[in-house]
Structure 1
């Protein structure tokens, strides 16, 4: 039986457990062997892929042109992303080198539930109440929220996660859901009670804005100072997609000026330097993130929207980029 060796970068214990179980349950004419590597893929670690036909990478691994050239030189022919996004891969260079790249476009659509939960957390201030009660403070002052029902929620991006988020908010909570997407799925959107509008209109009328789009060179800093200026006074902004969709410095300015009422973030534009690691015993070196965390109306989690038992144990269907 032929064997395919896969260098598995950025591995965590839940990756090892789930992928070992998954491979054991697959009936195949090919044997797959994983080499689990804790380091991220980079120019410094590319040599670890020597003698492997493929690599498996996650959101903060780097597969730029230089890294891809290094992978080609050590014999790698295939890159499998265990995520939906592919902004960390230079696809043009990969094609030039003849390296096949695949991703999981249907990966964790139920991350929509996490996005809705994050919306609820920031508009009903669960995080503030949790911290207060732990200190014996049961006052309700400063915990006034608002209902999703009849609020206007704007979705930027209507892939599987975006549409499911809209369905939950529209059908489950009675929100007025509008959406913007350069590639609209009008049939499904209509079924879920979601109305497509232009981006400017969405920014102007939404009480809550939730991001559900991949990061591309064209939409980096999609939410910038100008776009924040177009939003309603007191808007709530939630991002569970990719950090660099938002210009963090512009976001901080919007928070300081009161333009933005609350923020929920499961991602951060420079998360590769801090996320998925324990930095509790260190001084945070990222001044921008430290400032963001200091706001009591900002709720940040460490890129965990995907992380469920069901996702970690499912069999993914890879699709070429």
Structure 2
């Protein structure tokens, strides 16, 4: 089996080559993203392995079919960057549905604590020999109400962690897990009630037509003053311009963003010596109460091992005509 990797970094190559010792597949690693212009690189490959920034639009799908590529293997959970309109049974799509819920849940809590206790500010101050506590006042997590939107695997781990802090949990999900809610002693509620009662709101729902911009001007107005918003899900769950307005008028007290709706141009790249042309992103970074990270919540050793093993297992299943355990079936 010949596999073309797109948008690859050094850690992708390291982990996949190590795990490939058990499979002996032929790998080619391309730094470029899979797009209209780079799809020609997929010629003569059985599988293309892609990530969140690759653009698998209708044209790319058409060319992959022409090149007799048999599978698109996403080394991530989300697949909103794939146009399924022209995908047929000749081209399979697989993903990694749960590479490490612990990685993302733990990172989410770290964002909450960092923003609350101003740890990032304290770190920068002490490096300048400034040991003042002015402006570093936080609050106890104990007894605070945390609103969780989406209660899948990641959110369930997060809820367990937050329960350890003594937090009260309210949740919203179109598919309520009432058994788990009873076990962990939290309640499902409406979005409006969640917005109105939560001290911190954390987003863990998939990006769909229904959830796109679930955080917007109207929903922010329903929230508590000085609410903290955390997004380790998908960038377009938040209308960024509306969030900025909320930050400017102090309705939103803090925001932790591991994702950004226009992240594909910048995230995972080094722009330290270049000028960022995205004025919205630059504005966000300028807020002292905003913490932005580069879509790294998943980035643990355990997660990368699981991503690698799951992806290679999918390729093995394809090679041996076995049912694809993690096949993505898109229903129109």
**TM-score clears 0.5:** yes
Tell me if 1:320 matches 2:327.
Answer: yes
Name segments (4+ residues, structure 1) moved above 3 Å. none
**Aligned match of 1:176:** 168
Distance 1:82 1:189 in 2: 31
**Aligned match of 1:20:** 17
**Aligned match of 2:253:** 261
Tell me if 1:232 matches 2:229.
Answer: no
Q: Where does the alignment leave 5 or more consecutive residues of structure 1 unmatched?
A: none
Tell me if 1:9 matches 2:9.
Answer: no
- The equivalent position to 2:188 in structure 1, one of 179, 186, 196, is 196
Tell me if 1:47 matches 2:40.
Answer: yes
Map 1:98-137; keep pairs closer than 5 Å: 98-110=90-102, 111-137=104-130
**Aligned match of 1:157:** 150
Q: Where does the alignment leave 5 or more consecutive residues of structure 2 unmatched?
A: 315-325
CA drift of 1:193 comes to 2.5
- The equivalent position to 2:51 in structure 1, one of 38, 47, 58, is 58
Moved more, 308-317 or 120-129: 308-317
Distance 1:44 1:186 in 2: 48
**Aligned match of 2:279:** 287
On the 8 A contact 1:167/1:193 being kept in 2, the answer is no
Map 1:23-42; keep pairs closer than 5 Å: 23-26=20-23, 31-42=24-35
- The equivalent position to 2:84 in structure 1, one of 84, 91, 97, is 91
TM-score by length of 2: 0.91
Distance 1:107 1:93 in 2: 28
CA drift of 1:147 comes to 1.4
SS in structure 1 at match of 2:264: helix
Distance 1:11 1:248 in 2: 28
Residues 63 and 189 of structure 1: CA distance in aligned 2, closer, same or farther (over 3 Å): farther
TM-score by length of 1: 0.94
Name the Cα RMSD after superposition: 1.3
